[in-house]
């Protein structure tokens, strides 16, 4: 099975698995946010992700001043293709996603993305 096909199968399994979420509401903590994706923006080699959550409570990384409320996914991320695929699938399916940023990053760089039910 090709690697792209494997990625698609994994994403479809995750979407249909009914993962348990601790909260279905949009919101942020010190280093991460729950929410629906409002915008995915591909800009040069990077992807900016904006959720429908108020990011003012994020304090362990610095939100971008040029893309307020957006998290950065760098193409150099070890699992860029997998994380981007998960974000795109979540956006297309209208599913809540949880994004955790790298501590101390400026702007807030995506470290982990998880689907929420």
The CATH number of residue 92's host domain is 2.40.50.70
Distance between CA atoms of 100 and 33, rounded to whole angstroms?
Answer: 7
Angle, CA 60 vertex, CA 55 and CA 61 arms, to 5°: 70
Q: Tell me the pLDDT tens digit for each residue of 6-43.
A: 665 555 544 443 333 344 567 898 889 999 999 999 99
Task: Give me the domain span that covers residue 99.
Answer: 3-115
Q: How many separate domains does the chain show?
A: 1
3-state secondary structure of 79: coil
Sheet strand arrangement including 37-43: 37-43, 46-51, 70-74
CA distances from 2 to 5, 8, 41, 87 (A): 5, 10, 27, 21
| Residue 40, pLDDT score | 95
């Amino acid at each position: 099975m090709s690697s792209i096909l494997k990625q698609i199968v994994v994403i479809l399994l995750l979407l249909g698995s009914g993962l348990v979420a601790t909260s279905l509401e949009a919101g942020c903590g010190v280093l991460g946010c729950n929410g629906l994706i409002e915008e995915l923006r591909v800009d040069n080699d990077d992807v900016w992700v904006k959720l429908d959550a108020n990011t003012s409570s994020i304090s362990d990384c610095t939100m971008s001043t040029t893309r307020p409320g957006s998290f950065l996914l760098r193409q150099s991320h070890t699992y860029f293709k997998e994380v981007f695929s998960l974000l795109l699938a979540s956006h297309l399916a209208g599913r809540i996603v949880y994004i955790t940023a790298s501590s101390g990053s400026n702007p807030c760089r995506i470290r982990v993305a998880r689907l929420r039910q």
